[in-house]
Every structure is written in C-alpha cells, then in structure tokens.
Copies of this chain bind each other. A is one copy, B any other.
Amino acid sequence: MATLKQVAKLAGVDSSTVSRVVNNDPSLSIKLETRERILKAIEELNYSPNLAARNLKKKETKILGLAINNFFNPVMASIIHGAELRANKEGYNLLVYSSEHSQSKIINSLVDRHIDGLLISSLTFEEEDILKLNDKNLPIVSVNRKVLGMKNYVVVNDMQGAKLGVKHLIEFGHKKIAHISGPLYTSTAVERLMGYRTALNEGDIKFISEYVQESENSIDDGYIAMEHLLSLSNRPTAVFASSILIALGAMKAIQEEGLTIPNDISLVGFHDVYFAEAIFPRLTTVKMPLEEMGDKAIGKLIDIINKKDNGEGIIIPGERIISRDSVKRLV
C-alpha cells in the first residue's frame, strides 16, 4: 500500500501538499502543473488514504453503528436498506450489531469502536442503556420506535397508518372489527392501538375491549391471540393486525379453524413486506415508507454528528393501503 510520503517523493513535493490535494483543501494554492504531477503519482502508485491514520488524526471513523434485534424481521430489512444507501451516499459505512448479545457487551463494543454514531431499533435497549451511551457523548437516533427519554427518533406515522387500515375495513362495511395489538410497552403498538380507536370513533363504532388482544410480535403469539378472538361469542368479522408477523399467525389460526379469509374473517396486516403478495390469500396491508425512514434516520444521525440537528423528532408521512384479497366487502 502506497503512503502519502511515497506519493510526495514521486511527485517531488511535500506530503502535506499531497494531503491537501487529496482532500481538496481550499487553503492550498498550487500550480496546475504541480497538481497534475501529484495526481499522476497517486494514480501510478494506486494510492488510497490509510483510514486508520486519518481516523486517528481527525477523531472520526466514518462508521455508524446499527443495533437491531435480529435480521429475521422483514420490516428491518427495508429500514436497513434505506439506511445503508443513505449512509454510503454520505460517505459512511454501517456496522451492524444484532442484540443477541447482552446490551452491555454491545455498548462496550460500540464505545471501543469509537463509531461516530448509532442507530437503534431494538427493544433490548432500555432507558438506562441510552443514558449510558449519552454519557459517552455518542450521537444516537432511535428508528421506528420512540424510546422513553429520547427526543432523537425517526418514526413513521403508526397512528395514521393504523387508522387507515381500520378505516379501510369500515369502508368495506365492517363494524365488528377486532385488533391484535403488539406489545404495549412499545410505542409503535400503542400508536397503532390509538389509530384503531380513532378510526372506530370516527366511524361511530363502539369500542369493545374484548376485541383488542395484546400479543408479542411473533407468529406464534398472533396465532394464540387470533384463536382467542375466534372463541368469542360475538365473533368479529374483521381483524386489524398490528404487524405482519401477527397477521401471519392470525391467518394460520383462522385457516386451521377451517374458516376462510376473507369469506369468514377479513384481515388487514401492518407493513407491506415482500411476501404479502405471495401468501394465500394475498394479504391486504398498510404500507409504510420504511426505506425512507431508514434514510431519514441516517440523515438525522449525521446532522447530530455535525451539530446541525434541530433536536426534534421526525414523523414520516406517506402511509397507504395496499388492497389485495384478504378483505371482503359486506353489503
């Protein structure tokens, strides 16, 4: 690997001059001829700056951390995708941490790594962890969910999204609409529940508490919650599921019961992942701007790093309903 010094020698200049050329330092005045000589030398030696040395000097790594629960959540895939593209565009790389590890291990790793900032979208980070990282002066942005005590979040409008999903059901003539919510210690689930209630309210439909089932965000738990709804004497005609995994579990429960979707039960899922179109029946979902959320979250993080951030949380609009085959029109 060529160094600045070698390039400088070949071009017959000082290495500081090469450095300034490489970095387009405006304070440098240089003859066109000299610049070209340097550029040629760089080309010839195939020089590329040593990032470790640069990091040491500039006290920045151009690496952003990304802590997520796991990679299996297809919603995460979209967010990560948007985040990675934006990060690369801005000259950063993404270091991923899935928090199978204990939080403290991650935190140590992060601090040791001296990354420039951290994006979190992880349940396992609780308030005290965040504070610990804040202590270290590490810029943090929470993506997809709000965390207690953090103003730096980038989320989609879960409330509006849920409202949209439930309104769709109402427009199709449903009145007995149940909701399988996510775990209510997450902001997303709470907002979606609020959206559900708001839609009901605006549609002049009475809220029935037994129509709301809380569930972990998993296929298995969605299954159990749906089983419970099916056992109700006054069985709902439609269900709004708070996540795609819950929707999957609900579908399974309905179909194993020998019922069909949408004939017996209509179903709307949250988040339009790639297989919503592929399963049977094709699932009607609320599509949220996930990649944009990843993109904007990185944008905010970089703003914080550059002290350009206004300190306000961002709620990204743009939800819409993707109507497929899992909702039946009641006359």
In-complex Cβ contact of A80 among B71, B277, B278 (8 A): B71
In-complex Cβ contact of A88 among B84, B109, B251 (8 A): B109
User: When the two chains form their complex, are residues A114 and B275 in contact, meaning their CB atoms are under 8 A apart?
Assistant: no
Interface residues of A in 90-135 (CB under 8 A from B): 93-98, 100-101, 105, 108-109, 111-114
Let me know if A50 is at the binding interface, CB within 8 A.
yes
User: When the two chains form their complex, are residues A98 and B84 in contact, meaning their CB atoms are under 8 A apart?
Assistant: yes
Report Cα–Cα, A97/B72, bound state, in Å: 17
Report Cα–Cα, A52/B275, bound state, in Å: 43
State how many angstroms separate the Cβ of A273 from the closest Cβ of chain B. 8
Q: Tell me which residues across on chain B come within 8 A of A71, comparing CB atoms.
A: 71, 76-77, 80-81
In-complex Cβ contact of A50 among B50, B114, B275 (8 A): B114
Report Cα–Cα, A61/B50, bound state, in Å: 11
Report Cα–Cα, A142/B219, bound state, in Å: 33
Let me know if A252 is at the binding interface, CB within 8 A.
yes
User: When the two chains form their complex, are residues A280 and B277 in contact, meaning their CB atoms are under 8 A apart?
Assistant: no
User: When the two chains form their complex, are residues A277 and B94 in contact, meaning their CB atoms are under 8 A apart?
Assistant: no
State how many angstroms separate the Cβ of A215 from the closest Cβ of chain B. 14
CB-CB under 8 A for A61 and B70, given A94-B95, A248-B275: no
Q: Tell me which residues across on chain B come within 8 A of A21, comparing CB atoms.
A: none
CB-CB under 8 A for A95 and B95, given A48-B111, A71-B77, A274-B72: yes
User: When the two chains form their complex, are residues B56 and A52 in contact, meaning their CB atoms are under 8 A apart?
Assistant: yes
Let me know if A53 is at the binding interface, CB within 8 A.
yes
Let me know if A55 is at the binding interface, CB within 8 A.
yes
State how many angstroms separate the Cβ of A174 from the closest Cβ of chain B. 22
Let me know if A313 is at the binding interface, CB within 8 A.
no
Interface code A51-70, partner B: CB below 8 Å = 1, 0 otherwise?
11101100001010000001
User: When the two chains form their complex, are residues B88 and A81 in contact, meaning their CB atoms are under 8 A apart?
Assistant: no
In-complex Cβ contact of A280 among B50, B78, B280 (8 A): B280
Residue of B nearest to A98 (CB): B84
Q: Tell me which residues across on chain B come within 8 A of A277, comparing CB atoms.
A: 219
Let me know if A30 is at the binding interface, CB within 8 A.
no
Report Cα–Cα, A205/B191, bound state, in Å: 58
Report Cα–Cα, A81/B73, bound state, in Å: 12
Let me know if A150 is at the binding interface, CB within 8 A.
no
User: When the two chains form their complex, are residues B114 and A52 in contact, meaning their CB atoms are under 8 A apart?
Assistant: yes
State how many angstroms separate the Cβ of A111 from the closest Cβ of chain B. 6
In-complex Cβ contact of A278 among B49, B112, B114, B251 (8 A): B251
